[in-house]
């Protein structure tokens, strides 16, 4: 697929306002600051498709992008998670929307879960993996900002995460990624291809 031709479609605050549930889509999730916006921009070779801004208000929206003109083939940017300043009530509301999206969205083919290579498998990540497991939803993990570690240390982190998720190796794959150094783009794109253009 030509990810360079990806363009913004619409933002939805709830499941009910998402675009029609037809075709194929892949969702990107991660704790705030995990590098999700940077990864989406790198994968689509666009400077500012996904916002890298940290405004909590904006992040509550589910953003939909079409790959080229085909609105049946979509990338979905799920709200970042983990702003300390967001009230508990808002967090719970947000979790409810996210769970509903993951549980009910028929066109969702897989989840890309982004984790900072230096702090993988946070409580949020475990929650997402738990939900994905309940749905038998495949997950591809990007260990982001791999350039922040020496190659040996990054490789170690990769092996450690793989080992901890060995139980789910049929559903979960893991790779190193750096938006800054353009590392792991081809590997990530072929995973997206497999889900979006089977
Ligand atoms: P998001 O909140 O998950 O969308 O994260 P962002 O994409 O906005 O990135 C959060 C911070 O990490 C920003 O300061 C980015 O510049 C930085 N960052 C993102 N990707 C990389 C990367 O591959 N390498 C390095 N060194 N920094 C990165």
Could you read off the pLDDT of 77-93 as tens digits, one per residue? 998 777 666 778 877 88
Q: Which of the pair, 103 or 89, is modelled with greater confidence?
A: 103
32 lines ligand 1 (CB under 6 A): yes
Query: Which pLDDT value is given to residue 58?
Result: 47
Pair 78, 62: CB distance under 8 Å? yes
Ligand 1 centre from 34 Cα, in Å?
6
Q: For residue 48, what pLDDT is reported?
A: 86
Asked if the interface predicted TM-score (ipTM) of this complex is over 0.95, the answer is yes
Question: Rounded distance, CA 139 to CA 130, Å?
Answer: 11
Rounded distance from Cα 50 to ligand 1 centre (Å): 12
Distances from the Cα of 165 to the Cα of 7, 153, 178, 187, 190, angstroms: 33, 19, 21, 19, 21
Domain holding 116, by residue range, is 3-196
The answer to whether the CB of 173 falls within 8 A of the CB of 140 is yes
Q: Which of 28, 35, 62 to mutate to test the pocket of ligand 1 (most atoms within 8 A of CB)?
A: 35
Interval 19-56: pLDDT, tens: 999 999 999 999 988 999 999 999 999 988 887 555 55
Residues 91-106: what's their mean pLDDT? 88
Dist CA 103 CA 135 (whole Å): 7
19, 105 Cβ separation under 8 angstroms: no
Top mutation candidate among 52, 78, 122, 181 for ligand 1, by most atoms within 8 Å of CB: 52
Contact 39, 142 (CB under 8 A): yes
Strand spans (E) along the chain: 6-12, 24-30, 62-67, 70-77, 108-116, 139-144, 172-176
In this structure, of 107-121, 123-137, 170-184, the range with the lowest mean pLDDT score is 123-137
CATH number, domain containing residue 92? 3.40.50.300
- Nearest C-alpha to atom 2 of ligand 1 is from which residue? 33
Nearest to 69 by CA among 11, 22, 5: 5
Residues 172-189 as b or e (16 or more Cβ within 10 Å = b): bbbbbbbbeeebbbeebe
Mean pLDDT of the chain: 91
148 CB under 6 A from ligand 1? yes
Give the pLDDT of residue 171.
Answer: 96
- If pLDDT is split at 50, 70 and 90, which confidence band does 128 have? very high
With a threshold of 0.90, does the pTM exceed it? yes
Q: Is the CB of 180 under 6 A from ligand 1?
A: yes
**Taking 50 as the threshold, does the pLDDT of residue 57 lie above it?**
no
Strands 172-176 and 108-116, sheet pairing: unpaired
Count of domains for the chain: 1
Entry field: residues in the chain: 198
């Amino acid at each position: 697929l030509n990810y360079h031709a990806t363009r913004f479609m619409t933002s939805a605050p709830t499941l009910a306002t998402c675009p029609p549930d037809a075709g194929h889509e892949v969702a990107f999730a991660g704790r705030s600051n995990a590098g999700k916006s940077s990864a989406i921009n790198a994968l689509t070779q666009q400077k500012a498709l996904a916002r890298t801004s940290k405004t909590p208000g904006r992040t509550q929206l589910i953003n939909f992008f079409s790959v080229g003109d085909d609105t049946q083939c979509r990338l979905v940017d799920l709200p970042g998670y983990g702003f300390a300043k967001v009230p508990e009530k808002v967090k719970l509301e947000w979790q409810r929307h996210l769970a509903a999206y993951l549980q009910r969205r028929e066109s969702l083919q897989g989840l890309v879960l982004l984790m900072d290579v230096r702090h993988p498998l946070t409580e949020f990540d475990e929650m997402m993996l738990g939900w994905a497991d309940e749905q038998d939803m495949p997950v591809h993990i990007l260990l982001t900002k791999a350039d922040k570690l020496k190659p040996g240390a990054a490789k170690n982190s990769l092996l450690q995460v793989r080992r901890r998720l060995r139980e789910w190796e049929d559903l979960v794959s893991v790779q190193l990624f750096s938006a800054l150094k353009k590392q792991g783009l081809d590997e990530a794109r072929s995973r997206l291809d497999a889900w979006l253009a089977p």
